[in-house]
Amino acid sequence: MTNSVDRRVRASQKRRRLTAAAARVLHEQGVERTTLADIAREADVPVGNVYYYFKTKDELVQAALAEHSAHLDELTAELDRSADPRDRLKGLVSAWMDQRETAARHGCPTGTLAVELDKRADGTLDAEAGAVIRRLLDWTAAQFRTWGVPDPDDHALTLVSAYQGMSLLANALRDPDVMTREGNRLLRWLDSL
Amino acid sequence: MTNSVDRRVRASQKRRRLTAAAARVLHEQGVERTTLADIAREADVPVGNVYYYFKTKDELVQAALAEHSAHLDELTAELDRSADPRDRLKGLVSAWMDQRETAARHGCPTGTLAVELDKRADGTLDAEAGAVIRRLLDWTAAQFRTWGVPDPDDHALTLVSAYQGMSLLANALRDPDVMTREGNRLLRWLDSL
Amino acid sequence: MTNSVDRRVRASQKRRRLTAAAARVLHEQGVERTTLADIAREADVPVGNVYYYFKTKDELVQAALAEHSAHLDELTAELDRSADPRDRLKGLVSAWMDQRETAARHGCPTGTLAVELDKRADGTLDAEAGAVIRRLLDWTAAQFRTWGVPDPDDHALTLVSAYQGMSLLANALRDPDVMTREGNRLLRWLDSL
Amino acid sequence: MTNSVDRRVRASQKRRRLTAAAARVLHEQGVERTTLADIAREADVPVGNVYYYFKTKDELVQAALAEHSAHLDELTAELDRSADPRDRLKGLVSAWMDQRETAARHGCPTGTLAVELDKRADGTLDAEAGAVIRRLLDWTAAQFRTWGVPDPDDHALTLVSAYQGMSLLANALRDPDVMTREGNRLLRWLDSL
DNA sequence: CATGAATGAGGGTTCATTCAT
DNA sequence: TATGAATGAACCCTCATTCAT
């Protein structure tokens, strides 16, 4: 009884460990340069055992994407507690600025994943990273719409685009200040609307 | 006489063919998913012969980066023929918009290369892609400075950042319209300064 | 139960098979002319599987050296059962003479390995073969010392040097008699001390 | 006229340069780790040109062996100017001792070549290195015979064997003193006969 | 479920040798 | 004869995936 429950709990813990490890390592090293052994080691799971939780490497990539998507959900849920849509958006920008060190080192997890997955010939996962980005776009557009700003979709595109751009530049130039400078500009821009 | 010249010409043509093929294929497939055989086939050169011109795969990546850098030089040289710095910058944005189909399919060549190279543990080529981006930043800042706009470096950061962001989004969403929408906004922004 | 033990046993047997095959084939063909496939075939192990036990070719070379070192240990342990140091040394010479056919065909395993490894630019394994030879030198010197012969180190050097020299000549001339002639001289020399 | 002579002279100079380079580099790096490009570079001859003087790599190895054989001839010719055979042999040993640094770094040129060539399956060059050693043996035996020492062949075997052994040990232990210690012993031995 | 071991299909790289001029 | 360029066969090594227990 308890044994079987324990086992199930332990098992799902392992799954969670693997997912978290995948999200982390894939972000840091990229998909192609990360081996299953890397992820297994990071999750402290024997290599052969990985396949009981994820049938292929791609499923691990998918799980990592889902993890990033969940992080996004947490963030927007947190931001949704503000009454003012402008404050929500400013909170979003602040969250990006808080991640400046990570961004400078490895870029935006979803953005860099999207770049890498788009290079694939087989269109198996290309869309999935795009979907996460689209969800961010949608949430952002919803804020602008509630706020009453005209062309909310365009404004959302501008904001998310700016985020991806500044993350990429911070990463390419290895300079977290890029995040600060552009972040502050975005805050002023939101105030000016 | 002419023979030996021909031979030398043909040889350097081969090198150029390889460089061009590398730039193209690496942009389309990414560094890790591109085989030397891929590049060799695209350049119509036997695999073993590639090593006569490039001693390692990394040298081919470097050559591809240099090719992109040269394209940037051509573009800015062309734009420098305009008298007005604002026109130069608007020309830059227009050039980006002209590339919308390519951007939607494969992203910005230099930007995506930077993303992939930054995932590497060995810091051999990470900086090189960043350097090309920095040259674009510098040229852009120079235009703002000539123009007399305050904080030219920040403006340059905003513009290049926007370009990388919109390219990434166009690519991730597989939607060239992203380039058009953001591009037009940038044109209006430049007009408003 | 027994199954898992069997598995482990079979696995380590495989490792041992690979080590033995490496020792044999590397002795016969030399390091540079021996392919991993050669060793794998000799050990009846798929090539790809070799890397589960030895991460590089050099590790296989090291394992082969360790094998030869172990053989030396066995031999000296056996000889140590004689009470008289002179008998021990004469036993050593007799053992060399017993190997005359092998010596004529492939030389001394450790000696030829040392020659080949010393040709390497990267000083990764050069010392290792020398270390095995030094252990033979040390054991030999200890016998002379116990025996009470003056300058035991010099005598050891002379004896081991003679062994390497006669092995090389037997091999180069493809003549096992070299081992016999020189071996008998060494026996007489030991008796004369 | 003179042109064709010049050309021939220059050509044979090239051949000599290649032979000398081969002897040197093959001694230092071994046959298998030496590329034709290495030898060509050392001789300052374009790679493609090597094949007008040596049809295969093996022919270069053969040329290197011939070079070592010629050096041996020079040495014995020099020694033959001594009236006393014992002095000739002591001169030989002294010559070995003079080479102690080279021996410690790369071993005896002919001996190490013999070791490597004996590892080959195709019996194309195995005998050649042995032949050079045999010539040394023969000259040495002749000295002992002239001198009137009994069993001159055995004595020659002992002496040459000692040389190969001490060279191998000096090389394996990277210690030129080995040459000095054993060399002095051999001098005393010759004096005692 | 767990796990060490097995497998095989490439990928990058080297190099002796040959070719075209 | 001279020479840069060309060629292709091999080699070492990696790794996603599967198997046996």
In angstroms, rounded to a whole number, what is the distance separating the alpha carbons of residues B169 and B181? 12
Q: Say if the Cβ atoms of A171 and B115 lie within 8 Å.
A: yes
C-alpha Rg value of chain B to the nearest Å: 19
> What is the C-alpha separation between A189 and D88, in angstroms, rounded?
98
Chain B positions in Cβ-Cβ contact with residue A121 (cut-off 8 Å)? 29, 33
Chain B contact set for A158 (CB, 8 A): 162, 182, 185
For chain D, what is the radius of gyration of the CA atoms?
Answer: 19
How confident is the model at residue C8, as a pLDDT?
62
pLDDT for residue B2: 45
Contact D155, D141 (CB under 8 A): yes
Q: Which nucleotide is nearest to D10 (CA to C1')?
A: F1
Interchain contact D/A (3 or more Cβ pairs less than 8 Å): no
pLDDT, mean over chain B: 94
DSSP A129-182: HHHHHHHHHHHHHHHHHHHT-SSHHHHHHHHHHHHHHHHHHHHHTT-THHHHHH
Taking a C-beta distance cutoff of 8 angstroms, is the pair C101, C175 a contact?
A: no
Instruction: For nucleotide E15, give the residue with the nearest CA to its C1'.
Output: D35
Q: At residue B6, does pLDDT exceed 90?
A: no
Is the separation of the CB atoms in C193 and C89 below 8 Å?
no
Q: Which nucleotides along chain F are within 7 A of a protein C-beta? A: 1-21
Interface of C with D in 26-85 (CB under 8 A): 28-30, 32-33
Please give the average per-residue pLDDT across A59-79, as a whole number: 97
Q: How far apart are CA B174 and CA A123, in angstroms?
A: 12
Neighbours of C11 (CB within 10 A): 12
Higher pLDDT, A166 or C10: A166
Question: B3: Cβ–Cβ under 8 A, 6 or more apart, which residues?
Answer: none
B184 touches chain A (CB under 8 A): no
Q: Nearest protein residue to F5's C1' (by CA)?
A: B11
Band of the pLDDT at A159, cuts 50, 70, 90? very high
Tell me which nucleotides of strand E come within 7 A of a protein CB: 1-21
Token pair 């172990």 is at which residue? Answer: C70
The pLDDT tens digits for D35-86 are: 999 999 999 999 999 999 999 999 999 999 999 999 999 999 999 999 999 9
Residue nearest to nucleotide E4 (CA to C1'): A48
Q: How far is the CA of B47 from the C1' of E13 (A)?
A: 11
Helical H segments across A80-125, by residue range: 85-98, 100-106, 109-118
Q: Say if residue D42 is exposed, middle or buried (CB neighbours under 10 Å; 0-12, 13-18, 19+).
A: middle
CA of B53 to C1' of F1 (A): 26
**Which residue lies nearest F10, CA-to-C1' measured?**
C35
Residue of D nearest to C158 (CA): D182
- Answer yes or no: do C114 and D29 touch at CB < 8 A: no
Right CATH for C57-192 from 2.40.30.10, 3.30.70.890, 3.40.50.1000, 1.10.357.10? 1.10.357.10
CA distance C63 to C59: 6
Q: How many other C-beta atoms can be found within 10 angstroms of the C-beta atom of residue C181?
A: 21
Residue A122: per-residue pLDDT? 82
Using DSSP's 3-state secondary structure scheme, residue C42 falls into: helix
CB B60 within 8 A of CB B18: yes
pLDDT band at C7 (very low <50, low <70, confident <90, very high): low
Say how far apart CA A172 and CA A109 lie, in whole Å: 14
- Contact (CB, 8 A) for B88 and B143: yes
Per-residue confidence (pLDDT) for residue D1, from 0 to 100: 43
Task: For residue A163, give how far its alpha carbon lies from the nearest alpha carbon of chain B (Å).
Answer: 7
With bands split at pLDDT 50, 70 and 90, how would you rate the model's confidence at A4?
A: low
Which of D33, D116, D182 comes nearest C158 by C-beta?
D182
What is the sign, positive or negative, of the torsion defined by CA atoms of C124, C126, C131, C136?
positive
Confidence label for D10 from pLDDT (cuts 50, 70 and 90)? low
Name the superfamily (CATH) of residues B2-192.
Tetracycline Repressor, domain 2 (1.10.357.10)
- DSSP per-residue string spanning chain D: -HHHHHHHHHHHHHHHHHHHHHHHHHHHH-STT--HHHHHHHHT--HHHHTTT-SSHHHHHHHHHHHHHHHHHHHHHHHTTSS-HHHHHHHHHHHHHHTHHHHHHH--HHHHHHHHHTT-SSTTSHHHHHHHHHHHHHHHHHHHHHHT-SSHHHHHHHHHHHHHHHHHHHHHTT-THHHHHHHHHHHHHHHH-
Largest CA distance in chain C: 61
- The pLDDT tens digits of the residues spanning B50-79 come to 999 999 999 999 999 999 999 999 999 999
Q: What is the pLDDT of residue B69?
A: 98
Query: CA at D46, C1' at F2: how many angstroms apart?
Result: 9
Measure the CA–CA gap between B176 and B170, rounded to whole angstroms: 6
pLDDT band at B8; cut points 50, 70, 90: low
Mean pLDDT of chain A: 94
- Read off φ and ψ for residue D55, nearest 5 degrees: -70, -25
The model's pLDDT over B68-112, given as tens digits with 9 standing for 90+, comes to 999 999 999 999 999 999 999 999 999 999 999 999 999 999 999
Chain A contact set for B157 (CB, 8 A): 166, 169, 178, 181-182
Q: Is A5 on the interface with B (CB under 8 A)?
A: no
Residue B173 — left, alpha, or beta (φ > 0 → left; ψ -120 to 50 → alpha)?
Answer: alpha
Query: Would you call B20 helix, strand, or coil by DSSP?
Result: helix
pLDDT digits (tens, 9 = 90+) for C37-88: 999 999 999 999 999 999 999 999 999 999 999 999 999 999 999 999 999 9
pLDDT, tens digit (0-9, with 9 covering 90-100), for A12-44: 889 999 999 999 999 999 999 999 999 999 999
Give D59's contacts (C-beta < 8 A, 6+ positions apart). Answer: none
Q: Is there a contact between B61 and B22 (Cβ–Cβ < 8 Å)?
A: yes
D4 pLDDT tier (thresholds 50, 70, 90):
low
- D106-132: pLDDT as tens digits: 999 999 999 999 999 887 888 899 999
| A126: confidence class by pLDDT, cuts 50, 70, 90 | confident
Whether residue D3 has pLDDT greater than 70: no
**What residue of A is the nearest CA neighbor of B175?**
A130
Using one digit for the tens of pLDDT, what is the confidence trace for C129-179?
999 999 999 999 999 999 999 999 999 999 999 999 999 999 999 999 999
Dump strand ranges (E) for A8-109: none
Tokens 């869309």 correspond to what residue?
A127
The confidence score (pLDDT) of residue B55 equals: 95
For residue C3, give how far its alpha carbon lies from the nearest alpha carbon of chain D (Å): 42
Q: What is the predicted pLDDT for the residue at A3?
A: 60
Lowest mean pLDDT among A85-94, B9-18, D49-58, D63-72: B9-18
Give percent above pLDDT 70 in chain B.
94
At B160-181, the pLDDT tens digits run: 999 999 999 999 999 999 999 9
Question: Chain D residue with minimal CA distance to C153?
Answer: D181
- What is residue B122's predicted lDDT score, i.e. its pLDDT? 83
Question: Which residues does chain B have within 8 Å of residue A134's beta carbon, measured at their own beta carbons?
Answer: 173
pLDDT at D126: 82
Asked if pLDDT for residue D8 goes beyond 70, the answer is no
Sequence-distant contacts of C41-48: CB under 8 A, at least 24 apart: C43/C14, C43/C17, C43/C18, C44/C17, C45/C14, C45/C17, C45/C18
Residue B74 CB partners (closer than 8 Å, separation 6+): none
**C100/D contact by beta carbon, under 8 A:** no
DSSP state of C193: -
D171 touches chain C (CB under 8 A): yes
| Positive or negative: CA dihedral D18, D24, D27, D32 | negative
**Is A112 an interface residue toward B (CB < 8 Å)?**
yes
C-alpha Rg value of chain A to the nearest Å: 19
Per-residue confidence (pLDDT) for residue D168, from 0 to 100: 98
**Model pLDDT, residue D156:** 98
> What pLDDT is recorded for position B124?
84
- Which residues, other chains included, contact D190 with Cβ-Cβ below 8 Å and sequence gap of 6+? D86, D89, D90, D93
